[in-house]
Amino acid sequence: MKITSQACLALVLFSGCTAHEETRGISSQAIAAVTHDEVKTTIYFTSQDNNQRLSELSAGARPDGFHWISVSLPNSSIPALSASDGLTVDLRDRSSLLTFAQMYRETCNPATENYDPCWIFESYDAGSSGLGGSVRVQGADNHVRGSFDVKWEGDTDRFGAPRQWYSHGTISGYSATVVAGTVR
């Protein structure tokens, strides 16, 4: 069975398209939280409506029930974020060490004909098989902006059994106020 889907992340600047109406994006004012450890920096995005849940993301949880996106990149990439063009990463480039993840609303399991909406989690490391597109991030202190054009296709078990071929994309521009942490 071949299933095709496009997720839509609608933030402040512009948004892409969706093939499933239940895959709605972040539609109100975007907010972000930033965490740093010894190796990487992670920026979490969601809508202002979910401000109270942002701390769950910052603590490393994978909460469902709302749409969120995270981008993790090596700390060595942080200086490029403050450049006028920011940092653009080709998601086919494994050496970038970028990870893109999101929780989004989608069909539960097309292979079992369960078309009810469910919360689906996806996470991709740059250079993963079937991954393409780019991520651009620009920001400093309390504001981040940029775009996502993430495309993935291949066999997956993200819906549960059985494994199935799937194609998914997230295209969006964003502008978010950082409400927790800072972009260094």
CA distances (Å), 149 to each of 34, 91, 130, 138, in order?
Answer: 21, 9, 14, 15
Residue 184: its pLDDT value, please?
Answer: 74
CA distance readout (Å), 136 to 8, 22, 26, 77, 111: 17, 26, 17, 12, 34
- In the chain, what are the domain boundaries? 2-180
Tell me the average pLDDT of the chain: 84
- pLDDT beyond 80 at 8: no
Q: What is the per-residue pLDDT for 110?
A: 86
**CA distances to 97, 106, 112, 113, 152 from 157, in Å:** 24, 14, 12, 15, 14
Closest alpha carbon to 42 in 12, 20, 72, 67: 72
Whether residue 75 is predicted with pLDDT greater than 60 in this model: the reply is yes
pLDDT digits (tens, 9 = 90+) for 153-179: 999 888 888 889 989 899 988 899 999
In terms of average pLDDT, the best of 49-58, 78-87, 88-97, 100-109 is 88-97
Alpha-carbon distance of 104 to 170, in angstroms, equals 10
13-36 pLDDT, tens digit per residue, is: 333 333 333 333 444 578 999 999
Q: What is the pTM of this model?
A: 0.83
Which single residue is written with the structure tokens 């989004």? Answer: 104
pLDDT of residue 67: 93
- pLDDT given for residue 183 in this prediction: 85
pLDDT 10s digits, 109-139: 888 999 999 999 999 999 999 999 999 999 8
**Percent of the chain whose pLDDT exceeds 70:** 85
